Amino acid sequence: MGKQKQQVISRFFAPKPKPSTDDTTTSACSPGNAPTPRPKATASVSFSPAKRLKIDEFNSHRDKHLQRDDEPSRRPEPCEDLPEVSTETPNPTKYTPLEQQVVELKRRYPDVLLMIEVGYKYRFFDQDAVNAARVLGIFSHMDHNFFTASIPSFRLNVHVRRLVNAGYKVGVVKQTETAAIKAHGLNKSAPFCRGLSALYTKATLEAAEDLGGGMEEEEEGFMVSSNYLLCVVEKDVDCNNGGVDVRIGAVAVEISAGDVVYDEFDDDFMRNRLEAVVLNYSPTELLLVEPISKQTEKLLSASNARIERLAEELNEADFVQKDGIGVVAMPELAVRALAFVARHLRQFGLERILCSSGASFRPFSSATEMNLSANTLQQLEVLEDSDGSGMGSLLKCMDRTLTTFGSKTFRHWITHPLCDRNMICDRSDAVSEIMASSDVKIHQVVSDVLVALRKAPDIQRGISRIFHRTATTSEFASVVEAISVAGRRLRPLCNSDEEKKRPEVKSKLLRKLILTAASSAVTDAASKFMSSIDREAADKRDFRNLFITDNGNFDEVASARARVNSANESLNRLLPLYRKQLRRTSLKFSTVARVTHLIEVPSDAAVPSDWIKVSSTARAVRYHPPQVLRGLDELALANEELVVVCRAAWDGFLRAFVEGCYSDFRAAVQALASLDCLHSLAVLSMTNKSYVRPVFVPDEEPVQINIVSGRHPVMQQDDSFVPNDTNLHAESEHCQIVTGPNMGGKSCYLRQVGLISLMAQMGSFVPASSATLHVLDGIYTRMGGASDRIHLGRSTFLEELSEASYILRHCTSRSLVIVDELGRGTSTHDGVSIAYAALHYLLDRKRCMLLFVTHYPEIVEIRNEFPVRVGAYHVNYLTRVNQGEEDITYLYKLVPGVSERSYAFRVAQLADLPSSCIGRGVEMSKKLEAEARQRKVEKGCRDILLLLNDALSEEGDDDPERLSLVRNLAISMLLRIKTN
C-alpha cells in the first residue's frame, strides 16, 4: 500500500485532537509574533433543510472530480451535512512550515472555509479542499499530510462568490509581505507571513474589499439583489395577553446599501408579524440569539437563509455608544439585537455601518405607513404570484424603475403604503407633474438622468463601499462622477422663471428631491476630490500613478515616487557604461517575458564572467550584470514601498471623503431613488390610459371606498376584462356579502378592491374610471384555498382560523377586511357557524369596510340583524339546458342578490374528471338538495303552525271545535304544499 493511502486511512481513523484553548495566534507568520486578533462572537452554523437540499442537489454532479476511479480511498467520506466545515486535523509526525500555518489558521477560524494564498494560487486544505472541490468542480488530491485543491489567484472573486452562494463563510488568507520586502527583512529563510485578510458571507459580500461592486458578478450570472442580515431576539410574555406569547426584537441590515431597519413587537403563536418581516426583507442570513422558541425557529428555518446561532452573552462594552450609534429611540430588545449585529459585523470589519452617519435608521413600520401582514402580501399577490415566479405580481406589473437602487426603494413603497393623507397627495402631485410636463420637459430630463445612472455602477452600493473604505479606485471615480453629473443635469429644472416669477417645478416633493440630488455641496465636493486623482489611472486601478501631487498634496506619495525615479535613473546610468565596455553604441535595455533591463548581445560576443545569463536564442544571449541586479532589487523595493504608501494614501483619501461629504452624497442617492420611483409611477399611468388619479376625502369624513369601473391592475390589460363598481360607506352599507359560482370572478373582485386601495395609498394612479377613498390604516385578508404548513406544525383549518383571529384582533373601523370562504376547512355546520360568528363580530364590534365571500347562502340571513349595513351581491351568470346538461356562462359582473348554487360540476368538467364520476356526483347532489329542501319546508310548516297556534290563543277563542277545525285546515294546506 502506498504511503499516501496509508496516511489517508490513518487520518480517517485517527481520534479527534482536543480543541486548543490558545487563541493568541492570528497571523500564521510565527506562533510567537502574532497580531492582536479581531473580537468575534462564538457561533455555530447550520442550514435549513430546504437550503441543505439545494446545496446537495447543486453539488451532487461534481463528486466525480474528487477522486480518480482507480483510487477510491483517495479522500475520506464527506460529512453528511455538507456546509459544516470540519475542524478535524491529521496527526502526522511532522508538518511542513506551510502546513503548520494551516493548522494555526484552522484552530483560530474553525467555522470558516479558508482560501490560502500560496504564490499565484489560492489553496484549500483538509476538509475545506473536499468541500471546495464539490462546489467548484475542481480536483482535490493528497499532498503531504492534507488533502488540497487550488484555484488561480485571478479567479478569486468568482470562486469566493460561488462558495458564498453555496452557504459558506469564506475566509481569504493572504501573504502579508511581498518577495521584494521579504528579501530585505529579517525572516529571509522563513515562510511568507500569512493572515486572514477578509471574511465573506452573503450579507457582507457586496460591501467587502476587492469582491463587491465589480462587473465579474454579471459575467458569471450572479444576480445583484438585496442581502439583508436579520437578527432576532425574543422574550416570553404572558400567554393570556390577547393571544400574545412572545415579544420579539429584530434588526435587519443591508450592509452594502447602508439600510438599517428595526422594531420590537408582540407576536402570537403563529408568528404573523415576524413572518411579515421575513417576507418583506427576504434575508439571506439570520442571526438567532439563543434561547429561542420552537415556533420562531420553525418559521425562520423554513427560509433559505444561512443561519448562525449566537450563544454568547453580551457584556457592557457591547452596549457602549460609539461612533454616534443612535440607540436612544430604539426599544430595549431592538437595542439588544443591534448589539449582536455589531459584534457579528466586527469580525468582518464592517461594524461602522451601524453608526448614524453611515446608514439610514428607520423602524419596520411607522405611524405614516399602512400595516400589511404577511397574509395580505401573499394573498393579494403583491410581491409574488401563486406559483412563486413573481411574473403575475403587483410589483412586476407596476415596477418601471430604471435603476437597481430605485427598484429596491419601489419594493419598500409597495409593501409600506402611506397612511398620511398629505404625504399621499404630495406623491400624487409629483406623479401628475411628471406626466403633464410637456412645457418644461421634466419627464424627459428625469428619464435621461435615470437611463444614464442605469448604465453606471449601482451608486447606492458604491457610496456604501466608499463609506466602508472598500471601494476600488475605478468604483470611486464612477460613483462620484455619476452622482455629480446627475445633479448638474437636474439643477436647471429648479431654476426660477424670471418672467413668470415662479419655479418651473410646482410639486413640493418633486422640487425637494431635485434640489437634494442637485445640491451644490455634492457637485463641489465631487469636483474637489476628482481633481486630486488621475481619472485614467483610477480606471486602470493603478495606485502608483493615481494621485496628483503637483498641488503639494500627498507628500509621502511624492517622496516614494522620487525614490522609484531615482532607482530607474540609477539603472539608466549604467547603460552608457555597458555600451563603452562592449563597444556597442546602439546597445539598449530590452524586456522579454516581463523580465526588464536585459543586455542582449550576439551569441559569439564576449562578456564579463560575472554576468548572469538569463535566456538565449540561436543568435543572441541575454544577460543581467551584477550592477543591474542590484539596481533591479532596489527598484523592486522602491515600487513595493510606493504601492504601500499609495494604498495608505488611498485609505486616507476615502476617510476624508466620508468625514467631509458622505452624508450629502447618501442623501443625493436616496433622492435619486425616490425620483426613480415617482418616474416609474408616472410611466405606469402614461402607458395605461385607463388609469385615474384617486381622490382622498378628508380624515374627518366617514370611511368610504367608492370605485367606478374598477379593474384588476394585473389582469386589466385583457380587453375582455369586465370592470365592477364598489361602494362602501361607514354610515350606510359597509359590508358586501358576495356569492356566486366557482370561477365566477369573486376572488378577482376581492383582490381588485384591495390592490386599488393599496396603489392609491402608494401615491399611484389606479385602474378605474374614478376612485374616491378614505385613507385606510390597514388591509387584512383571509382568502380561500386549502393550504397547510406541515413543516410549521399547522393544519389547514388551524391556518385558516389563525388568519381569521389575526384579523379580528388587529383590524379597526378604518381598515379594509377581505374574507373569502371562511369555514371551508371543517364540516358544513361548523363552517357556517364559524363564518357567521366571525362576520357578526366584524359587523357588531369593528364596523370596518368589509368584503365577505361565501358559498354558504345561509350567511346572507345576517342582513336581518344588520339591514342597513349589509348588502347581498353575486357575480352574475347565465344558464341553459343543452341536451339534458346544464351549461353556465360567466358574466363576471357584480349584481345585487344571492346565488343559491355554486355550479361546482362545471369546474369538474373543466378539470376533466371521468364522466361517470361527475354523473354520480350530480345524482348525489340532487338527492342532497332535495333532502335539504324537504327539511326547509318541514321547518317552515312547523313555524307556521306555531305562529297560528299563538295567534289563535291570543284571540281568546274558547270553542275547542273551532280551534281544531282551524288547525286541521292549516295542516292539510301545509301537507299539500309539502307534497307539491
Query: Which CATH number is 287's domain given?
Result: 3.30.420.110
CATH number at residue 196: 3.40.1170.10
Q: Give the Cα separation of 890 and 881 in Å (integer).
A: 15
46 strand-pairing partners: 307
Cell of 477: 471615480
Pairing of strands 170-175, 113-118: parallel
The CATH number covering residue 602 comes to 1.10.1420
Q: Which residue has the cell 420611483?
A: 677
Which of these, 901, 902, 905, 898, lies nearest to 924 by C-alpha position? 905
222 backbone dihedrals φ, ψ, rounded to 5°: -85, 130
Question: How far is Cα 639 from Cα 621, in angstroms, rounded to an integer?
Answer: 28
The pLDDT tens digits of the residues spanning 749-758 come to 999 999 999 9
Residue type present at position 291: P
Asked whether residue 550 is assigned to any structural domain, the reply reads no
Mapping DSSP to helix (H, G, I), strand (E, B) and coil, where does residue 736 land?
strand
End-to-end CA distance of the chain: give it in Å, rounded.
98
Q: Which of 685, 701, 704 is nearest to 762 (CA)?
A: 685
The answer to whether residue 79 is domain-embedded is no
Tell which of 642, 659, 686 closes a domain: 686
Do 774 and 800 reside in the same domain of the chain?
yes
Position 373 in a domain: no
Give the H/E segment covering residue 428: helix 421-435
Statement to judge: residues 867 and 723 lie in one domain: yes
Q: Kind of pairing, strands 502-503 and 496-497?
A: antiparallel
- Which residues partner with 726 through β-bridges? 707
Look at residues 317, 108, 95, 303 and name the one whose alpha carbon lies nearest to residue 194: 108
User: Is the domain of 642 the same as that of 753?
Assistant: no
Burial-class residue 526 by CB neighbours within 10 Å (0-12, 13-18, 19+).
buried
CA distance 757 to 937: 44
Q: Quick check: is 628 in a domain?
A: yes
Same domain, 964 and 929: yes
Report d(CA 289, CA 312) in Å as an integer: 9
* Amino acid symbol at 800: E
Quick check: helix, strand or coil at residue 458?
coil
Compute how many other C-beta atoms are within 10 angstroms of the C-beta atom of residue 323: 11
What does the pLDDT read at residue 912? 73
At residue 14, what is the residue type? Answer: A
pLDDT of residue 399: 95
Question: Which set of grid coordinates corresponds to residue 847?
Answer: 364596523
Residue 206 inside a domain? The answer is: no
**Strand locations in 691-805 (E):** 691-692, 695-696, 704-710, 724-729, 735-739, 766-767, 770-773, 778-782
pLDDT at site 224? 45
Indicate whether 739 and 821 sit together in one domain.
Answer: yes
Displacement of CA 976 from its chain's centroid (Å): 70
Q: Could you tell me which of 668, 607, 256 has the C-alpha nearest to residue 466?
A: 256
Sign of CA dihedral 941, 943, 947, 949: positive
How far is 409 from 387, CA to CA, in rounded Å?
A: 24
Residue 825 lies in a domain: yes
Task: Give mean pLDDT in consecutive 10-residue pieces for the chain, a chain of 980 residues.
Answer: 41 42 40 39 43 45 39 35 46 77 90 91 93 93 91 91 92 76 59 82 82 43 66 81 80 88 88 89 91 89 88 66 58 90 88 74 85 89 82 92 94 94 96 79 91 91 90 93 95 67 78 94 95 93 91 91 94 93 91 91 91 92 94 92 93 94 94 96 92 96 97 85 96 95 90 97 96 96 69 72 89 95 77 91 95 90 93 91 77 91 70 75 74 72 69 61 68 64
Residues present in the chain in total: 980
Which CATH number goes with the domain that contains 900? 3.40.50.300
Same domain? 754 vs 788: yes
Q: According to the model, what pLDDT value does residue 886 have? A: 73
Position 958 scores a pLDDT of 62
Q: Please give the Cα distance from 479 to 457 (Å, whole number).
A: 7
676 and 717 co-located in one domain = no
Angle at 359 between CA 354 and CA 365, to 5 degrees: 95
Are 126 and 106 in contact by the 8 Å Cβ rule? The answer is yes
* Residue ranges making up the domain that contains 889: 691-913
Domain-embedded: residue 557: no
> Which whole-number Å values give the CA distances from 420 to 372, 426, 682, in the listed order?
15, 10, 21
Domain boundary among 880, 913, 946: 913
Answer whether residue 58 is part of any domain: no
For residues 807 and 908, membership in a common domain is answered with yes
Angle between helix 473-490 and helix 459-467 axes, rounded to 10 deg: 130
Side-chain-facing half-sphere of 520: CA atoms under 13 Å: 2
> Does 232 lie in the same domain as 184?
no
| Integer Cα distance of 615 and 622 in angstroms | 5
**CA–CA gap between residue 887 and residue 880 (Å, rounded):** 5
831: cell is 363552517
Q: In terms of domains, do 940 and 894 share one?
A: no
Angle, CA 306 vertex, CA 303 and CA 309 arms, to 5°? 105
Residue with cell 345576517: 862
**Counts for the chain of helices (H) and strands (E), in that order:** 29, 32
355 shares its domain with 440: no
Q: Report the candidate in 235, 260, 263 with the shortest Cα–Cα distance to residue 247.
A: 235
Rounded to 5°, the CA angle 829-832-834 comes to: 105
Domain boundary among 913, 937, 957: 913
Query: Is residue 300 located within the same domain as residue 356?
Result: yes
Number of domains in the chain: 5
> Under a CB-based contact definition with an 8 Å cutoff, are residues 804 and 796 in contact?
no
Q: Cα separations (Å) of 48 from 126, 307, 533?
A: 25, 8, 48
HSE at residue 965, side-chain half, CA atoms within 13 A, is: 6
Nearest Cα residue to 137 out of 71, 76, 67, 65: 65
Q: Say if CB 24 and CB 34 are below 8 A apart.
A: yes
Q: Helix (H, G, I), strand (E, B), or coil: what is residue 845?
A: helix
**Contact status, residue 534 vs residue 561, Cβ threshold 8 Å:** no
**What's residue 219's pLDDT?**
37
SS (H, E, C) 352-421: HHHCCCCCEEEECCCCCECEECHHHHHHCCCCCCCCCCCCCCHHHHHCCCCCHHHHHHHHHHHHCCECCH
Distance CA 746, CA 820 (A): 9
Other CB atoms within 10 Å distance of the CB of residue 328: 7
